[in-house]
Amino acid sequence: MRILAIDHGTVRIGLAISDELGMLAHPLDPHPAEPLSTLLNDLKTLIQQREIALILVGLPRNMDGSSGPAVHKVEAFVHLLRETIPIPIRTWDERLTTLQAHRMLAETGKREKERRGRVDSSAAAVLLQSYLDAQSSGSVGITGA
């Protein structure tokens, strides 16, 4: 079962996909957030081509676990996904995934400008890997159904 992870942003949507065994996350090219209709069509195509069985969307909670404006935007996006895409969609806590992605990309030695376009999909891969690791350890704490 392949899983598609989404790191929702206002400019770019970070994407990552699991391998067929559901063990490793791999970043994909990020996608522009607008126009929304194009994003949804491209996601549908990706889901068919890669045989995606689950979409995992990062939920950007505040550090204290509370919900802020970013969470409400993601929840609205998830609602729209559920209306247009007929596969299960779950949310997963994404606190610190962008920070981890920045650190990982910095370790590659690439300059900030080169890393900028990759951080969203790298954050999606960090998000997905945390979910996959929790699945394999039996401690899945899904924040949304």
Q: What is the pTM of this model?
A: 0.81
The residue count for the chain? 145
For domain 2-137, give the fold.
Nucleotidyltransferase; domain 5 (3.30.420)
Q: What is the pLDDT of residue 143?
A: 44
Q: Tell me the pLDDT tens digit for each residue of 95-127.
A: 666 655 556 655 666 666 555 556 678 888 988
Domain ranges of the chain: 2-137
Q: Are 2 and 50 in contact (CB under 8 A)?
A: yes
